[in-house]
Amino acid sequence: MIEIVRVETPEQRAQMTAIRVTVFVDEQGVDAEVEMDELDTDPSTAHVLALAADGTALGTARLLAPEHADGPAHIGRVAVLSTARGLGIGALLMTDLEELAVERHGVVVDGVRSVSVELSAQEQALGFYARLGYVARPERYLSEGIWHHDAVKVVTAPQ
């Protein structure tokens, strides 16, 4: 049983950092100083952790608030420890942050609350995001030596 929790305590923040260092810095070669950025501590940023039944942290992701009114929210830094992949944890993290995005940043049109969520998807993870309904733009760009595509999804609150 996996539980998704909001990062609130210094201990949870340390667990989040440890996962991102393991996955992005050690495994993927991202510069540690780029990986942890100022948005991590911005009060408008939300971080989540995926916890196993024994409390072990297995994955993390973050939600950034829109940069301007009517702009998209951003989900990023989605990381699951290599030993825990393929179990649905990444999808659980995404679903939780999508719910939070529509709750915090959604706008109501014709009685329907929705928000646009954008992310910067590594090419090797495009299939993961596509299964969740994200549509990738064809243009690719290099970031930290890794090919990325922007991808977008309109998330609607349950009726």
Q: By CB under 6 A, name the binding residues for ligand COA.
A: 23, 78-80, 85-91, 121-122, 124-125, 127-128, 131
Q: How far is the CB of 90 from ligand COA (least distance, A)?
A: 2
Nearest CB to ligand COA, comparing residues 91 and 112: 91
Instruction: Give the whole-angstrom CA distance, residue 126 versus residue 122.
Output: 6
Minimum Å gap between C-beta 86 and ligand COA is 5
Q: Which residue, 85 or 113, is less far from ligand COA as judged by CB?
A: 85
Shortest CB 69 distance to ligand COA, Å: 26
By beta-carbon proximity to ligand COA, the closer residue of 131 and 137 is 131
Supply the minimum distance, in Å, between the C-beta of residue 30 and ligand COA: 10
Q: Which is nearer to ligand COA, 58 or 100 (CB)?
A: 58
Burial of residue 34 (number of CB atoms within 10 Å: 0-12, 13-18, 19+): exposed
In the complex, the smallest distance separating the C-beta of residue 42 from ligand COA, rounded to whole angstroms, is 20
Contact criterion met (CB below 8 Å) for 115 and 105: yes
78 versus 101: smaller Cβ distance to ligand COA: 78
